[in-house]
Chains A and B, each alone.
Chain A
Amino acid sequence: MLQMIPLLFIISIVSFLLMTMAPGDPTAMFQNPESVKSGKQDLTAIREKLGVDKPIYVQYEKWMKLVLQGDLGYSFQDGRPVLQKIVERIPATLILMGTAILISFLIAIPIGIYSAVRQYSPLDNTFTFLSFLGISIPSFFFGLMVMLVFSLKLGWFPVSNMTSDETNLPNSVDILYHLILPASVLAFGLVAQYARYMRSSMLEVIHQDYIRTARAKGVAEGKVIFKHAVRNAMLPIITLLGFQLPHLFGGALIIEQIFAWPGMGRLAIGSIFVRDYQVIMGVTMVTALLVVIGNLIADILYAVVDPRIQYGKT
């Protein structure tokens, strides 16, 4: 538990260094060498205001002091508190990622079990084919295709954003209506991954001795699979679930961009493009923290699922 603190500290130093040493300059966002409007700006004053004229260690120290007080600093771009910028994105991100992850687990686990039990059956081969398609098809392309078919041609769903400009629907229904396409596109890629995990994990388990023993004892096949095999095969999937936590909050860069979904992914990518150091650090640290917590949760879940694992005893 306690080793989390030095770990996060090291992560913060490494990311801060990488970020500030990478080429590019935060004042670039205030200039546009293509526009008359931004012609005569006082960049020195901007540098001073942002504090980026100081050496890196001074900048880091200033940032760290804020973090220790529970403050993530202020965005270079619009001066709003980084924490506020992150918090206001959480609902949209959770709705999208939560739905996608939930749907994909619900679909992927049965598929994985089926594929393992009926290995090399025509349906398994179909699932395998679809999985590879799901993993390898770029999501921006798939997203655009889905959009073209279901929004433009069929007109079933709205093209982008999370809510309508004006609508008579209740807010939750309106969001659901906007959610279906991006969540499905995301889930398609995730189902593919999870199903592969589940399949291989399940395959490993059903070839083990205790399964053979169970069968030899004459236990019904259904019981063998669901009581003996699945429970063990779920272990790696639970680790995977733990790793989804940062994903859940971190959002999906490409899908959010394409569907104009106001989530965390867009905040991250936007701040990286303009070198908004404060926001980049804020998002990085929140994500790092979630990775650590996610691992912790996975460890705890192990103990729940597998009674053989006990913590604190040697």
Chain B
Amino acid sequence: MTDKILLLPIIIPLVSGAMVLLFSNRFRRAIEMISLLAASLSLLVSIRLFKENLSFSLPWLGQGLEFSLKLYHFSWFILLAIASFGFLIILYSILFMRNKAYLNQFYSYFLLTISFASGAVLADNLLIMLFFWEGLLLTLFGMIAIGNKNAFKTAIKAFIIVGITDLCMMAGIILTGHLAGTLAISKISLSLNGLGALAFIFLMIGAISKAGSMPFHTWIPDAAIDAPLPFMALVPAAFEKLLGIYFLTRISLDMFQLSPGSWVSVMLMAIGAITIVLAVMMALIQKDYKRLLSYHAISQVGYMILGIGTAVPVGIVGGLFHMINNALYKSGLFLSGGCVEKQTGSTDLRELGGIGTRMPVTFICFIITAVSISGVPPFNGFFSKELVYDGALERGWIFYAAALIGSFFTAASFLKLGHAAFLGKISEKNKGVKEAPFLMLAPMIVVTLLCVIFGLYNQLPLRHLIQPVLGGIRMEGHDFSGFPGNMKLVLATVAVLIAALLNHIWGVKTKGSGLKAVDHIHHAPILSGIYDRAEKRYFDPYDMGLKIADLAAKIAFRCDRAVDWLYDGLAVKVTFAFTRQIRKAHTGSYSAYLAWSLIGAILVAVFLIYST
């Protein structure tokens, strides 16, 4: 097999994405067929490429800038995951997007996203990676912008947040290239001190921002409402986690040697822990299916960052395992939300309720994915969370406590979501609701089954996909597959889950409905005030940043006006004052003029004499 085949995962969706854009929306079938064909071809190629070690290099710009791609044991499964999610969600979109506007743009951006994401994963040169990575900014912008009528503003918000962190990433890449003397990822090995630490932090900002961690997260809940749903299932739920965590792992393990003792490791864990707790607290009080899920998309990334930040094998394996698990159940959850939206026309929990019996398949898929995300054994989320807990506890009880608190609220909010959406009384409007069509159910069923398989047979992903990433030396002969070794941790988890269930039952009993089951937390003293302000966006770092930028801009503008005054004010005044004085000399008197001329002549004569 020639190594040119490495170009295919990039080129197939790229070309078809460009092609789709040429069709007008009237050729719906052509657009759908091309997209589906391209996605299935990409999937076939990625399956074919699985377990192949290849590298490809093309002279490109000189100066050591080569178009080099590399496929190895880490990129195998990320590439495969990208292609699989791409395929499944395109399949889902065909019915979901059918009557929506901007169909050609949607599929085009979709395919380009697959192409750029594959490119970023395959790239073995940091500049190439940055090229694809930042290219994703455009498709992100496009996919959000074609949503509802507020979507453009949300798209701009997303673009600005991610664009600024991408600039940080660029700075990090340049610094890394400068320190290492090369941009070839596989040749970089730097230590974490001085400028190296600065480079790492810049790269890390790029990575965790892509993954959707706090404080770079605030566009995600907005996009959940404004952007088309398949986008949410594809990008924030799956691709961004895959890419962000993939890159975070690469910089932590390959390019820089992150050790458990370093302050960078503590910083990562702190970011992870804070993200877990704050985002899940926000998720808890949401009253919209999609918005609630989007906060979980943020919260879950905290577990991954926490896991990798621990810098101990069990934590890193847990973080990576959680990345793939999260991609599965989170896109599954979003897809279930899409089925509900398609069939009922709403995702507002106040209008839903009681549709579980009318949409049984969706409901079952929801239950399985929801218990997976809550970390209930024996589903996949349980196993990866246990590994993260184990790693966190090894580094400090406070991180473990944060993770455990996160678990409690995750379980509580999914009990609320499921109860409010699928159980309870059905509204008059939803009496005629039917199950979603098979084409939309199928992708959801597939990811749900994978959640079960990755839980029951966790040896499969752990032994074949994730543990090889760390390599034999770093693993120190451990094998983390199978049932968790530390029974105390398992018991603690089970206790927390039971507490969440009791909390829910108590909430329902006192407040009377599933939707209000967590109101006693929402309206608790102190918390309610914080919640109010958070809902009014007082804590949005994006808004705060814009305010600071505005202030700085006003100062700059005043400086600019001050400089302008030098020309329009001062220079004019000086000139007029000067000419007023000169004018006084022009009296019209011949004798005075003669005297001036004489003085001038003498000066010239003196100059001539002395200069020679």
Question: Is chain B a partner of chain A in the same complex?
Answer: no
Which residues does B use to contact A, with CB under 8 Å?
A: none
A-to-B contact residues, CB < 8 Å: none
